[in-house]
Chains A and B, each alone.
Chain A
Amino acid sequence: MFPPPFDYHRASSVTEALSLLESVPEATVLAGGHALLPDLKAGKADVGAVVDVSRVSTLSGVDIDASTGTVTVGATTTYKDLLEAAKTTPELEAMLPSVIAATRVLGDRQIRSRGTVGGNLAAGHPDSDLPAPALVANATVEIRGAEGTRTLPVETFLEGPFETAVGDDELVTEVRFEAGRGPDSSTVTGAYQKSTHPTSGYAMVGVASRLTIDDGVVEEIRLAANGVAETATRLPSVEEQVLGIDLESETAKEEITAATDLAADDIPEGAQRGDGHAPASYRTAVLGTFVERAIDEALDATEVDR
């Protein structure tokens, strides 16, 4: 319940934050605090110091570039900030439908006020809602350290359960998401389907989808799942089979169902995720259903005649 003793430092700039991370022994980054503080309270983490970056204004903000189809989100942007941005700029949701949908169902109102986009990915929680949409949106994570800046695709950034590529003296500074693109005639759509764990509130199974449809045909599909593997995982077996399906054909529905049945193949057996309430065998068994629903929900939002 009570964190062990540590020193608190507040950074007013990224430079200061990096300098503190390097110079202060066993220092770790604090932003929204909703991964670190619960861990400290539960005795799962013990740090010498925290470097609070939540008031570094340059680390927060949502930049939407419709021309390049890129959304750059500052690491300390809260979920609430992101949803507000989606409200004031409706294109944001059209560009990142599964990201926004997942953010809406993530945690609860209080958590969404404080938890941050960068903090979410940096914590690497396998059941969290944001990583799968990040994968689907081809996100990259920018990390800064004393040596400089590097950018990693999110699939590389997420290394294992609660393990990510940000080093001890480094700081996640921004996350860049890509909107789906296609020819002018195409429609891009996406969704997020979540089976909520009744005790933790995280995802037992969470599936993000993004499809680009041109003339009724699936030109691009990206699918990813939270909660079923040690990290959020793309579902290439399904993607391969759904790619190219003519949605207006009579067999489209069957084909999609058959494709989604393959989803569990993409979850390696040794890396499955489960707990006392929802064992791994259950999560992988129903994954296909949630994949299908994530596809259906995305398609229902379009005018494609199925």
Chain B
Amino acid sequence: MSDAAPTPDQTGDERDASSAGYTGTPEKRREDAVLLTGRATYTDDHNPPGTVHLAFVRSQHGHATLEEIDTSDAESTDGVLGVYTWADIESSIPGRLPLPGLDEAIPAHPVLATDRVHYHGQPIAAVVAEDRYLARDGVAAVDVTYDPLEAVIDPEVAATDPDAPQLFEAALNNVAASGEMGDAEATAAAFEAADRQVDLELTNNRLISSAIEPRAALAEYDPDDGFTITLTSQSPHGHRRKLAHTLGVGEGEIRVIVPHVGGGFGHKGHHHPGEAMAAWAARELGVPVKWTATRSGNYLEGAHGRDHRTTASLAFDDDGTIRGLRAETYGNVGGYGLGSGARMPLWYGRLLSSQYTIDAIHCAVSAVFTNTAPIHSYRGAGRPEAIYVTERLVDLAAADLGMDPVTLRRRNLIDPEAFPYETPTGATYDSGEYEPAMDRALEALSGWDADSADGRLRGQAIANYVESTGGGFESGLVRVLPDGDVAVYAGTHSHGQGHETTYAQLVADALSLPLERIRVAEGDTAAIPTGTGTFGSRSTIVGGNAIVESAQSVLAKARRLAATHLEVALEDVRYEDGTFSAGGESVPFAEIASMAYSRGLPEDLEPGLEATTFYELEATAYTFGTHACQVAVDPDTGHVEVERYLAVDDCGVRVNPTIVDGQVHGGVAQGIGQARTEQVLYDEDGQLVSATMDQYGVPRAADLPDIETDATVTPSPTNDLGVKGIGEAGTIAAPPALVSAVCDALEVDHIDMPLTEARVWEALTE
């Protein structure tokens, strides 16, 4: 008889709390049981009695004026309870989504189209019916008369072609906003002085986050309690604020509950018409109204991500020293600006230095309206765009010099002694030791079998990256219950990242208690102090520090209670493994908890044992690393296989290494998707061609290799836990790694993503 299966790790629950602690251990996730049996409830699984369904009539055109919306047939369709247009909602709610930072004369996205539509799929009318099928029937019965207008889909064309249609009077040349980063003069001087220069035009292709759960919201309204909105979101409090704006009510009138969320990747961090419309309809009809986007609805409405056109140059000397970098970018905003998405392209240049010492950088960006779905953050949100530009330029420079691209990179790495390091684009890198990670990647890569016996062309490449993490503040509440159980609440919201487990590990360590006494909850704005949410690789670093600080406050108070109880001075109290002791006497934490909620506490001690922290980093934490990729290209078909992929990442202290690796895997998969198969296609009339999963290339298992991971650990000086974010690293490093590897295989300078068989074939046969 054999020992056929590896013995699973003991879970933390079984471990003595006095051993090394939970931080750094690969605890198995507590979230899993309900997920594995399908018992977890996501938004669409919620069906309070009386729930009715909402569906949208969506624009069939990319750009058109609305001549007429005939709802009479729809209203008389079986099972339809109401059909609504802008005219029905405009008097009772402001009805436009937030749009901070743009010229006020530029209209924000209306919940339902006013007199015109700016993108294929824009909501025009809402149908509420007894069930989903009947809602669909109602939608099919609405008759919209359009006067189609010319459409423009490319941001550079929209901004520079005088004949391009203008979407908004107030946005000259369709420019929503423009900005610069760095120093134009210094960069010009650097280019003048440098020996050489390479230039590149590149596109960062448009993507759709494609979380497997589409967007959904269930709204309930009670005249006394206000709105209760259950929805799929990455940011419960963010949604509360934005819904309040769109509905024109106070935030106190809205309770947002975010249950299980089936992936987010950025696009569930912002507010969409369906959520507001469901709320309005719930108030109007007095019944729960549920809106669940179909996949095509989700793809049509977005938000989408990326979509930059960039012209960039790198100035460098004959010995490979980089002197300057210049980039001019047109970033797509979409048919309407959506929240901060309208200005997002303006920030991307922040990371153009990547890991390199570059004397001068200048980045000029125009964020441009086009007749496409609105754009907002998608995993990486600006960092992938920047790192992609820099890494491609570095490769081109190496080719120009006939130098090994690794040598060129190494020559320009920021010195470990130079941190904190301020880049010419105003980013201050907190810490970094780039060479060890790069060397680990190179060592592994050198051992990969690149034999060409099967006739395929092999290429290898590395990509270096940095990632800014930990922006904004976060709320963390640690509440000890009278029996010593601990409830932890955070304003972040896990949609796969395992906060329930990671946060429990952190608090268990901070309180020296066993893992099973800690319970973590997120998602209910009625229970959780206002926070920011989960995106931008921030939860562990900001949320984690928030709850740990709260745990420390709690422990400090518990210690005082113990001192009082043991009748000793505070400094004589010892705390170990859940027990306070002094002078031979001891008292367990649970008993202190009970005391905290009893009568008869001394005057100087308030009852209660909990703490809330609103935590914000004083400096951004910069994760970094090097990814290595080997591809095999079929020279007769252009098919690219990613044969090997290794991610070496440094996100500081890794609280749960397995969960961290999982985040890397997922990010890399999405990065490979961008590089090889994913592209959002619009035709010239603004019709979305890739509107279903039949036509948008989300990678399947057979499209991906076994993604290998390794790590270096450079604790971050920005926070006590020494952590940095990791969620987006893969999407940042994988695209340049893959493109570079294919270019290596083909011995060409550049191919624009996605590297479809057809594009690679073109490069092979040119």
Measuring CB to CB, which residues of chain A are less than 8 angstroms from any residue of chain B?
A: 1-2, 4-5, 42-43, 195, 198-200, 204, 275-279, 281-282, 285-286, 289-290
Contact = CB atoms under 8 A, between A and B. Distances in A.
Given A285-B765, A286-B637, A286-B757, 10 more contacts: A2-B132, A2-B133, A195-B637, A195-B757, A198-B677, A198-B756, A199-B696, A276-B681, A277-B756, A286-B636
A26 to B, nearest CB: 16
A11 B341 CA distance: 55
B761 A195 contact: no
B215 to A, nearest CB: 14
Interface string B530-551: 0000000000000000000000
Contact of B679 (A1, A5, A276): A276
Nearest 3 pairs between A and B by C-beta?
A282-B758, A1-B294, A2-B136
Contacts of B689: 276
Contacts of A289: 636-637
12 contacts: A1-B132, A1-B296, A4-B140, A43-B140, A195-B637, A195-B757, A198-B756, A275-B695, A277-B679, A278-B757, A286-B637, A289-B637
Contact of B638 (A1, A43, A198, A286): A286
Interface string B208-232: 0000000000000000000000000
B697 interface: yes
Contacts of A290: 637
Contacts of B696: 199
Contacts of B636: 286, 289
Contacts of B676: 198
A282 B761 contact: yes
A195 B757 CA distance: 10
Interface string B635-671: 0111100000000000000000000000000000000
Contacts of A199: 677, 690, 693-697
B295 interface: yes
Nearest to B297: A1
Interface in B682-716: 689-690, 692-697, 699-700, 703
Nearest to B682: A276
B695 A278 contact: no
A282 B757 contact: yes
A276 B697 contact: no
B137 interface: yes
Contacts of B132: 1-2
A200 B136 contact: no
Contacts of B296: 1, 42
Contacts of B697: 198-199, 277
B639 A195 contact: yes
Interface residues of B, number: 32
B639 A279 contact: no
A281 B690 CA distance: 20
Interface of B: 132-133, 136-137, 140, 294-296, 636-639, 676-677, 679, 681, 689-690, 692-697, 699-700, 703, 756-758, 761, 765
B761 A286 contact: yes
Nearest to A3: B133
A278 B693 contact: no
A115 to B, nearest CB: 15
A42 B696 CA distance: 15
A106 to B, nearest CB: 14
A239 B199 CA distance: 49
Contacts of A195: 637, 639, 757
Contacts of A275: 695
Contacts of A42: 296, 692
Nearest to B756: A277
- Per DSSP, chain A at the interface is loop
Contacts of A278: 756-758
A1 B703 contact: no
A11 to B, nearest CB: 24
Nearest to B761: A282
Nearest to A283: B758
Contacts of B692: 42
Nearest to B690: A276
Contacts of B758: 277-279, 281-282
A199 B693 CA distance: 7
B295 A5 contact: no
A281 B758 CA distance: 9
Nearest to A278: B758
B703 A198 contact: yes
Nearest to B292: A1
A200 B694 CA distance: 4
Contact of A276 (B137, B637, B695, B699): B695
A257 to B, nearest CB: 11
B455 to A, nearest CB: 11
Nearest to A289: B636
A215 B694 CA distance: 46
Residue among A195, A204, A286 with the highest chain B CB neighbour number at 10 A: A286
A250 B638 CA distance: 29
Nearest to A290: B637
Contacts of A200: 694-695
B677 A5 contact: no
Contacts of B699: 198
Contacts of B137: 4-5
A42 to B, nearest CB: 7
A1 B639 contact: no
Nearest to A276: B681
Nearest to B140: A4
Residue among A1, A198, A275 with the highest chain B CB neighbour number at 10 A: A198
Nearest to B695: A199
Contacts of B690: 199, 276
Contacts of B761: 282, 285-286
A57 to B, nearest CB: 31
A277 B678 CA distance: 9
Contacts of B677: 198-199, 277
Residue among B637, B639, B696 with the highest chain A CB neighbour number at 10 A: B637
Contacts of A281: 758
A204 B634 CA distance: 15
A161 to B, nearest CB: 16
A295 to B, nearest CB: 14
Contacts of B695: 199-200, 275-277
Contacts of A4: 136-137, 140
B113 to A, nearest CB: 20
Nearest to B699: A198
A48 to B, nearest CB: 15
A290 to B, nearest CB: 8
A198 to B, nearest CB: 4
A2 B295 CA distance: 12
B757 A204 contact: yes
Contacts of A279: 758
A296 to B, nearest CB: 12
Contacts of A5: 137
A287 B697 CA distance: 22
A200 B295 CA distance: 15
Nearest to A292: B636
Given A204-B757, A278-B758, A1 B136 contact: yes
Contacts of B756: 198, 277-278
B537 to A, nearest CB: 28
A290 B757 CA distance: 14
Nearest to A5: B137
Nearest to A204: B757
A157 B392 CA distance: 52
A262 to B, nearest CB: 16
A227 to B, nearest CB: 12
A289 B456 CA distance: 14
A187 to B, nearest CB: 26
Contacts of B679: 276-277
Residue among B137, B636, B677 with the highest chain A CB neighbour number at 10 A: B636
A61 to B, nearest CB: 31
Nearest to A202: B694
Contacts of A282: 638, 757-758, 761
